[in-house]
Structure 1
Amino acid sequence: MAKPKIAATRYYILTFLPAAVTVAYLPIWLNEQGITDAQIGLINTLPMAGMLLFSVFVGRLADRASDWKQAILIGTGLAAVFSLLLGFAEGFWMILLIWTMTTVPAGLIGPVADAATMRMSLRLGFSFGATRAWGTVGFLTTCFATGYLILWFGASSFVWLMAAACLIRFLAAVGLPRLRDADQPRTRPEGTFLSREVIATFQPWVLLPVIAGAILFSNHMVMNAFSSLVWKQQGLSETTIGALIALGAAAEAATMFAWKRINIRFPARVLILIAGAVSILRWVGMTLSPPLWVIVLMQLGQAVTFTFSYLGCLYFIAKRTSEDISAEAQSLFGVMMQGFSILVVSSFGIAFGVIGVNAFWICVGLSVLAIAMVQVSLRMRGPDTSD
């Protein structure tokens, strides 16, 4: 394994450590700080709003820098510094401010890191999918470890676990090699909100499958938010629910490890189309309260529903864009994913309170819409070797 690939793999193994600590214990820690349910919701959603507002802007700045690594270091470094203040935060407003400053800088450079590593992988001939898969492995491992560590050291350990995870992520960023090709001629894209080059690239036949991928991604955010509640209501134990969630993540990682073989056999838009078709089956299954063995098959379906759509879009965008606008273009896709996730999850929550599991028909309808978008794109321009 070449040194740049090792460094990139190490970064992805460690970059999701703070997210894993957050998922495992943030709501419980906030509750113990006297934060209400409504305030917990705001603490979770305000950083997402910040990422929506500034993601493309940060992507443009990263593209203008001499190397994308500079933006990654700044984002992860700021997150590490602000995470040190979590232990001193008291009251809703102080926790909201510090938590936002801890999560937003790192969140903004996520698409930059994806774009940079994607470019390096294409240049050096290794699979970005396999590298990204190690991120899922690191996330899962940390989720399990956080549960045990907090059990041993108590609830107050959340703040130093979060700070340690942010520091480790920053050190992994320090270890990244130069990510941009120094010999590649560069131009400075012009434009106001979006560069002219990005606007020219995202023609309708390109934009439609990217929107479809963002919609399919948002359906998985519904699963993250509500699947455990649905399965608990159906009588499954917490241990079984945890195993099902881990199974879905493992299936996702397995497909990412095999991505290089998949990517060379199928055009990206065909992969997004397949993801949409399997998504329909998966979300219909969620409306039926099926037996456990069917739920297991549905969770294994994440290997297709998430990975094919997510990585399919990342590669599709990378092949349509130059290095000069890579981070901006991937940041735009990140904005679409975040935006649709907020809309879909909030709408689903309202519907779930009224009609229960039948709310998953929303996900079914959105999957049908995603398929239609990709089909329109393929009619505009059929798949080719550059797809």
Structure 2
Amino acid sequence: MATPELAATRYYALTFLPAAVTVTYLPIWLNERGITDAQIGLINTLPMLGMLLFSVLAGRLADRASDWKQAIMIGTGVAAASSLLLGFAEGFWAILLVWTMTNLPAGLVSPVADAATLRLAARAGFSFGTTRAWGTVGFLSMCFATGYLILWLGAGAFVWLFATACALRFWAATGLPRLRDAERPRTNPTGRLLSREAIEAFRPWVLLPVIAGAILFGNHMVMNAFSSLVWKQQGLSEPAIGALIALGAAAEAVTMFAWKRINTRFPARVLIMFAAVASILRWAGMTFSPPLGVLVVMQLGQALSFTFAYLGCLYFINKRTDENISAEAQSLFGMMMQGFSILIVAGFGAVFGIIGVQAFWACVVLSLLALAMVQISLRMRGTDPAG
């Protein structure tokens, strides 16, 4: 039987495989089936909207269960079963329905898995950052594998590759250990949209850095959506663009592997503040259309601008909330990340169409706002070992 650390690491190593297959080939697969660009955008956006609307509800239901593993298995299980229907879906509406049924349940339990694994890691004495790093390694590996397999086996391989990835994620979920502390006394949170306990936990000085982290996350979604287009317009080749994207992900993974040392040396809010400063420098640099050598350094900056903000917020929330609302609290952060991502990417797209790379100044302004939020929080309540 696998140890708790090995079981959690295995889950994270496999949980992002469906996303890797999606990023690599979904738009091409949809285009080959006559789906228009606008319809492709809707197919990608609807699951995100569902996560925005139902994430907190899913977290609250997961907190009420006897163990968070149940919610994770249900979400990944429904996704795996729905993925089997993708090959039979014909036309826009059928594909939209199946794709939403496949991605929404898994997306809703993603913050639940983060909350549960953070608690498990604290009890078992391993680093969540290291465990989460294997998710990035798995994602990158599957991106490369998908490209080669589809080149070798043809476009039809996309459907079974995606279904296999979903099945592997569900299999890993079934192998998770008990995630909740069975000996810890439990109470069911009260309240409607948000529990009273969550409202009390997210006091202004706690809420401000969490919002800042969500804004910084949304800025990175701009890079996911537009970086390849920007670099292509600047004359970079496809291999160079792919290498830059992989470099950013690799820098992110290396930081996660080292997270135990980083997290014990700096308070969480200080790490989020470092992330905001790194973001300001990265997005300002993008406005100058820098040469490849400078872009390499900027992509290495993702180690700070993304990882410090993302993991910093997860740990900060975990320290500031009780186990009874763990999934709800992390789901609230997930809802913020989805909401800001939609708003920032949509707004950036409109501005980018008018002024090109100068639109990255909007990301600079948002990063400055995030930095100010963390500084206000620190003034409201100074740092302590929990952030």
Q: TM-score, normalised by structure 2?
A: 0.99
1:135 aligned counterpart, secondary structure: helix
Matches within 5 A, 1:171-320: 171-320=171-320
Residues 129 and 311 in structure 2, CA contact (< 8 A), matched pair in contact too: yes
Please report the RMSD computed on the Cα atoms of aligned residues, expressed in angstroms.
Answer: 0.8
Structure 1 residue 115 corresponds to structure 2 residue 115: yes
Residues 268 and 386 in structure 2, CA contact (< 8 A), matched pair in contact too: no
**In structure 2, distance between residues paired with 1:262 and 1:298:** 21
Q: Deviations over 1:132-188 (max 9, x none)?
A: 000000000000000011111111111111111100100000010000000011000
State the one-letter code of the partner of 1:45: T
- Which residue number corresponds to residue 158 of structure 1? 158
Shift of 1:2: 7.4
Alignment coverage as a number of residue pairs: 387
- Which residue number corresponds to residue 78 of structure 1? 78
Residues 277 and 371 in structure 2, CA contact (< 8 A), matched pair in contact too: yes
- Decide which moves more: 150-159 or 202-211: 150-159
- Which residue number corresponds to residue 383 of structure 2? 383
1:109 aligned counterpart, secondary structure: helix
Q: TM-score, normalised by structure 1?
A: 0.99
- Which residue number corresponds to residue 51 of structure 1? 51
Shift of 1:385: 1.6
**In structure 2, distance between residues paired with 1:179 and 1:385:** 25
**In structure 1, distance between residues paired with 2:120 and 2:209:** 24
- Which residue number corresponds to residue 326 of structure 1? 326
- Which residue number corresponds to residue 361 of structure 1? 361
**In structure 1, distance between residues paired with 2:357 and 2:347:** 13
**In structure 2, distance between residues paired with 1:85 and 1:139:** 23
**In structure 1, distance between residues paired with 2:53 and 2:45:** 13
2:182 aligned counterpart, secondary structure: coil
Shift of 1:386: 2.5
Residues 255 and 303 in structure 2, CA contact (< 8 A), matched pair in contact too: yes
**In structure 1, distance between residues paired with 2:207 and 2:60:** 19
**In structure 1, distance between residues paired with 2:216 and 2:32:** 35
Matches within 5 A, 1:98-137: 98-137=98-137
**In structure 2, distance between residues paired with 1:220 and 1:210:** 16
- Which residue number corresponds to residue 23 of structure 2? 23
**In structure 2, distance between residues paired with 1:287 and 1:38:** 27
